[in-house]
Amino acid sequence: MCSICEKPLVDRAPVVSVLHELQDGYERLDCHPECWKTAPREWEPFSSWEGVYSAPPPPDKKETLKKETADELLRHLISLDDPAMKNVVYVLAVMLERSKILVERDAKEQPDRTIIRIYEHRRTGESFIVLDPRIRLENLSDVQSEVVALLSGTKTLGEVSSKPEDSAEGNTEATTNGKEEPATAPAE
């Protein structure tokens, strides 16, 4: 449904998606392009992008017991908002981006030089706001192991989040000529 005119969005039709920054978080608006252009507003969007609306699939009638998938785990970890899990959240988001489940829509550098990445789920249209922790390359394999352990069920969230964080301090790649260089993205 269009967030402005409240008429249904049409499958495979153009759509404008916008993140509106509120005091306690973000609000996502999905609008018909013409509604977005003509709607009066007294604020500037935190982020906006144009795309093609994909109607959600009908609900699956049979519910099967399955292991937690990467996107379910990402949703769960984001809802927990646990700073100890920031590296795991970022690696999951990059994994899902490489698997073409998520698409990065925007990246915003904050005044403290952190980067917030905005991802959109290709199938559901959900927005995910993920902090890029600038994981050091030498710590990347540890984080990937934590992700695999969580997805396979060999470790619980408590076991992973209580582990002392080697990478919490100085999460940037080694510097060259005094400039920080981001770590390379994780391999699948």
Model confidence at 64, pLDDT cuts 50, 70, 90, reads: very low
Alpha carbons 82 and 106: distance in angstroms, whole number: 23
pTM over 0.95: no
Q: Is residue 5 part of a domain?
A: no
Do residue 43 and residue 83 come from a single domain? no
The count of domains in the chain is 2
Token pair 């698409």 in the structure block, residue = 103
Q: Is residue 46 part of a domain?
A: yes
Q: Which of 186, 59, 46, 57 is nearest to 121 (CA)?
A: 57
Do residue 77 and residue 45 come from a single domain? no
Contact yes or no for 55/39 (Cβ under 8 A): no
Do residue 96 and residue 145 come from a single domain? yes
What is the per-residue pLDDT across 139-168, written as a single tens digit (0 to 9) for each? 888 888 888 888 887 877 777 776 554 444
Range of the domain at 145: 70-161
Q: Is residue 106 part of a domain?
A: yes
What is the per-residue pLDDT across 18-48, written as a single tens digit (0 to 9) for each? 998 888 888 899 999 999 999 888 888 888 8
Residue 102: pLDDT over 90: yes
